[in-house]
Structure formats: structure tokens, C-alpha cells
A and B are shown apart, each in its own frame.
Chain A
Amino acid sequence: MKNFSSAIQVIPLEHYIILCTTLFCIGLVGVLYRRNTIIILMCIELMFNSVNLLLTAFSAYHSDPAGQVFVFFIMIVAAAEVAVGLSILVMMKRNVDSVDINLLNRLKW
């Protein structure tokens, strides 16, 4: 653990923050602009994982295990969420035979 933390600390913290923010923004833009629902799910996963990376980096820098414990919780919840999301997607695909998000336009205003 000590070695691992010091290995992480070789790289300055700012680099982690910039990397994670960039990953988060890629995911965010993907959710907003992509039309394929499966890719949107992947982008949401990317956002979850960028948060995980950020928490791990902070945890190593603060020498505090709480952040890494939180990462486990996020991984489990993200897995559960994606399982539910994919099944909703399958249900939708059966009804309309497409995964294009532009079809979701019956409910508005």
C-alpha cells in the first residue's frame, strides 16, 4: 500500500485532475450528442470511471482509505445501474426495433 501510494504520488496531482476532468467531459459530451443509446450508456460508464480514478488519486494523496472504499461502492452501483439500463434498452428495442434515441419523442411539453 505504501509503495503503491508513493508510486501514484510520483505524478503531480494536477495531472490526475486534468485527466479525470477531460474523461468526464468526453463522457458528458457523448451523452449529450450521440444518438445511439448503447453509446450513451458507454459514455455514462466513462463518467463513472473518471470519478473512480479521481477518487483513487485523491485517496492516495491524502493517505486516506475512505476514498478507495467509495470507489468500490460506485463500481457496484454502476454495475447494477447498467444492468437495469440495458434491460430497459432491450425492452425498448423489442417494441420499436431500434436503439436510436430520436424515437423517444412521444412525450413532450
Chain B
Amino acid sequence: MSALIFTIVLGIILLYLGFVKNKAILAPVAIAGLMITLFLLFKDWGLGSKYFHDMIVFDNFSIAFNISMVIITILIFFFGIDYYEALEFHVAEHYALMIFALTGAFLMTSFSNLIMLFLGIEILSIPLYVLAGGKKYSYRSNEASFKYFMLGSFATTIFLFGVALVYGASATFYLPEIKIFISQFNGHLPPMMLVGLLFILIGVAFKVAVAPFHFWSPDVYEGAPTLVTAFMSTVVKTAGFAAFFRLLNMGLLPLPVPLEKALWVMTGLTLLIGNLAALKQTNFKRLLAYSSIAHSGFIMLAMLSQHNTSASVILYYTFVYSLATVPIFIIFILMKRAADGSEELSIFRGLYKQKPWIAVFLTILLMSMAGIPPTSGFMAKYQVFVLSISQGYLGISIVAILMAVIGIYYYFFVMREVFTEREQSYPIQVSKINAALIVVCGVAVVMLGIFVWNLPI
């Protein structure tokens, strides 16, 4: 709770620091603040404290996810030092809005009441609508922002309609009570409840971009400023899946049969669409957007396997995925600058010749995304498959493994570009902080694959 209050205050402080005409202090203040948040979160570990009449419960699950999100946000802010150097105005607002979004993410991991879930989703989303439009004069940024806003609020209304119907049937917003209400019916729920739950799941699925509700995500990822895209595909995704898992775990398990079927269909579709559509992409940001949809499919698989270790597997998967995604975006931004703003895959050509060490780290990171053994991405996928097969979902696991194999193709396509020679290569410049970030994340991705952890959450 102290962490939640502290982040809100930190956001307001950052907003006011915008009046100081020195933007060099913004990132250090934000990072120092997040370090304190990290400390406050560690202090709450194991306490399981409840606030606001049990509407928020800071149990180990939420603290573990919060810590992982704060770490990734710190990495993104380090990236921001270089990224926002060229920007003259409104730098403080960018940092502040990201901190506010992080506050929403904290609520999304710790709710035990549908009101708090709604507030968390909205506090996360509203700053993101603004952030996606961060490049005011870029037409594509405008379009991304407006699409995100429109589809996001559309999804929110559907979610709310579901909440209203669930409330009508069960007369409560409190998830444990909803669970008791569902268990009374032995699988034959009243139609109003069933429709309400389906609408709630659709709303949440929209937020985490699970097929068939994923259409906004490639557009928004492509149009938004790259730093915001990195934030959306890591922190927001983690928060979304934490909320999804918590919703299922606290309120809906064991799932009513129609809902379970719907979720399995969504998982299968996500795996298929994410991986197959990524094959056709030539824009790198779009490729990463589809790859992030594909990763959602694997996380859904872990989530629906319904085992004690599911939460831990999801945490490991999202953390490792985020840790690989942030430096990939950093390398992408360096290449994009050198190539005069082009976002095509071909800008990576000739990277090995020019900066061999970046090429090597990029290869490691892409291998982690694809799931090749020495890296942690492999261990994450391995854990998901072990979990789903041990719970008896053999068919969908085979589909997932096939899709993981297809995924290797498009990551290797990028790698091939990196190691292909080009006569006239773009001169890229790496700042010290970015270089350190790439190295640290690259090493961490490998180390986490060797020392796999399983938190009891």
C-alpha cells in the first residue's frame, strides 16, 4: 500500500518538475523514486495486507508481479534518458504518465473487487491513450492514439456491461463471494451470470490483446512512439495477464464449461494468428507486435492449465519476455535513427560488420524470444509446456509447440539480416547507458535461463 501511495506522489512530483527547465534531472528522480518503490514492495512481502474493506489485497502474488513491473519500468526509464534527449517540451509529462500507468498496473495486480479491477484498468489505460499520441505532429501517432482510445473505451463499456449483469445476478462485486455464488449452481449458471462473465472476459481479453480481440494492437504498437511501445508490450502486458489470472483464480475457477471452451478457442486462435501473421510482416515494430500476441497465447496456455504453479510460470514468462523485449527495442531505435526513420526489417542489414557485439547480443535476445535452449525464453516455454501437458491438455500443447517452431522462423529472419553484409552500412551511435542496458539485459536473459526460479505465489 505504501508503494501504491508513493508511486502516485512520485508521479505528481515528476509532473511539477516539468516547471524546472532542466530535463536532465527527470530520469534520475524517476529512477530513484522507483528504487524506493521497489524497497517498499520488498518490505510488504509475505504480509498479505488488506485495505479499503478488502477491496485491495497485497498478497505475494501481487507484490511479485509489481516488483517485476517496477524493474522493467526502471529499465525503460534508463532507455528514456537517451530517447528523450532530442525532445524539447513535455518530457516530464511522459515520465509522469508512465508512473501513473504503473499505479494502475499495481491496482490491476492486487484487486479483489470488480470495482478495483475497473479502476485499475482505466488508470492504466487513460495515460496510455495520451502516451500513444506522444508525437503530436506525427500523423501515425495520432492515428494510433485515437484507435487505441476508441477501441479501449469500447472494450471498457463491454467489460462494464458484463460487470453490471454479474452484479444483477449475484448482488456483489466481491470476487470471493462471486466464487461462492458460482459454486452454488454446479455448472448450470443462470444465463445472465454466464453472459456477464463472458463480457467481462472479453473486456479483459481486449486489454491484453488476445485474438480475436487483437486487431488494435499491431496498429497501436506501430504508430506509438517506440519507448511507449516498449512500455506497452512489457509492463502493460504483464499487468493485463496478472489481472486476468487473478480474476480467474479468485472469482471464476473452476470455470463454467462454456467459458472454458471460449477461452481455449481464444488461446488456440491467439497462437495461430500471432505466429502466422508475424511471418508476413516487413515492419519491425509490427513484427514485434504480432510476436507479442503470439507470446500472449503461451501465457494463456499456462493460465488455463489451472495448477498451483501457474502463477509462478506466468510471472517467469512475462518477466523474461519483458527483459528481452526492452533491449530489442533499444537496438531497434538505434538502427532506426541511423536509417533516417525507416522501420523496415532491412535496416538491420550489416549490423554485424559494424558493431559485432551489438549483433551478438541482439542474437541472444532474439533467441530468447524464439525459445532456443541456453536462454531463459526456452525455459519459460518449457515450463508452460510441462504445465499444460501434465494437466492433460495434449492437443493444444502440440499446436503450441508447432507454433513455437514457426516462431523461430521470423526471429531468425531478423538474425539473417543482421549477419548479411551490406556495402554501405548506416553508422550507428550507442550511448554508454544504452550499451550498458543491452549488455545487462543480454546477460540477465542467459543467467535466468540457467538459474530458473519458482516463487511460491
Contacts and interface: CB of A to CB of B under 8 A. Distances in A.
B223 A84 contact: no
B129 interface: yes
A104 B173 contact: no
B419 interface: no
Contacts of A85: 129, 149-150, 153
B interface, size bucket: 35 or more
Contacts of B390: none
A74 B133 contact: no
A108 interface: yes
Interface string B97-137: 00000000000000000010011001000100110010011
B130 A84 contact: yes
Which among B122, B164, B167 has the highest number of chain A CB atoms within 10 Å? B164
A26 interface: no
B212 interface: no
A83 B163 CA distance: 24
B397 interface: no
A66 B54 CA distance: 14
Contact of B168 (A37, A54, A88): A54
A84 B142 contact: no
B139 A96 contact: yes
Contacts of B218: 107, 109
Given A66-B173, A84-B130, A58 B142 contact: no
A58 B173 CA distance: 12
Contacts of A81: 122, 126, 149, 153, 156
B154 interface: yes
Given A51-B157, A58-B164, A104 B119 contact: no
Nearest to A104: B143
A17 B168 contact: yes
Nearest to A70: B115
Interface string A84-107: 110011011001100000001011
Interface in B143-197: 143-147, 149-150, 153-154, 156-157, 160-161, 163-165, 167-168, 171-173
B93 interface: no
Nearest to B171: A62
Given A40-B150, A107-B143, A55 B157 contact: no
Contacts of B139: 95-96, 106
A107 to B, nearest CB: 4
B160 A51 contact: yes
Contacts of A51: 157, 160-161, 163-164
A60 to B, nearest CB: 11
Nearest to B168: A58
Given A70-B167, A84-B129, A88-B130, 8 more contacts: A24-B157, A47-B161, A73-B118, A77-B119, A77-B122, A88-B142, A91-B142, A106-B223
The 3 closest A-B pairs by CB, nearest first: A47-B157, A107-B219, A58-B168
Interface of A: 17, 20, 24, 27, 31, 37, 40, 44, 47-48, 50-51, 54-55, 58-59, 61-62, 64, 66-67, 69-70, 73-74, 77, 80-81, 84-85, 88-89, 91-92, 95-96, 104, 106-109
20 contacts: A31-B150, A47-B157, A55-B167, A66-B167, A67-B167, A70-B163, A70-B173, A80-B126, A88-B129, A88-B133, A88-B145, A88-B146, A88-B149, A91-B142, A92-B142, A104-B147, A106-B223, A107-B147, A107-B222, A109-B218
